[in-house]
């Protein structure tokens, strides 16, 4: 399970022809869902990321920037009761296994 788009909390009108449609989940909703999945035993199957694909996502243009996961989301995870060991697995262990093609 991959949770992308941390830092994107906006609405895109469904009537417009775009890949962005509807309301994006808020970061706190993503974190709480991750916490629930961890509680169900899926810690090692979760990948997280932010997607800075537009310049409006950069600090210079008012966005959260590339550091959003470490600066804001990790503390939010801690506040929601995700342990440091679990956060380390989410941020380091899971991506390492994914890149090594060994998610087992």
Distance, CA of 57 to CA of 5 (rounded, Å): 10
Q: Model confidence over 8-41: pLDDT tens digits?
A: 766 566 666 555 555 677 899 999 999 999 999 9
Q: Note the pLDDT tens digit of each residue in 53-100.
A: 888 888 899 888 899 999 999 999 999 999 999 999 999 999 999 998
The verdict on pTM exceeding 0.85 is no
* Residue of higher predicted confidence among 50 and 104: 50
């Amino acid at each position: 399970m991959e949770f992308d788009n941390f830092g994107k909390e906006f609405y895109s009108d469904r009537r417009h022809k775009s890949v962005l449609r509807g309301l994006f989940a808020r970061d706190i909703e993503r974190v709480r869902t991750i916490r629930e999945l961890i509680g169900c035993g899926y810690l090692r199957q979760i990948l997280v990321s932010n997607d800075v694909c537009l310049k409006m996502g950069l600090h210079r243009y008012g966005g959260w920037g590339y550091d959003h996961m470490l600066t804001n989301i990790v503390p939010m995870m801690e506040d929601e009761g995700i342990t440091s060991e679990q956060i380390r697995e989410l941020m380091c262990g899971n991506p390492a296994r994914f890149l090594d093609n060994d998610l087992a």
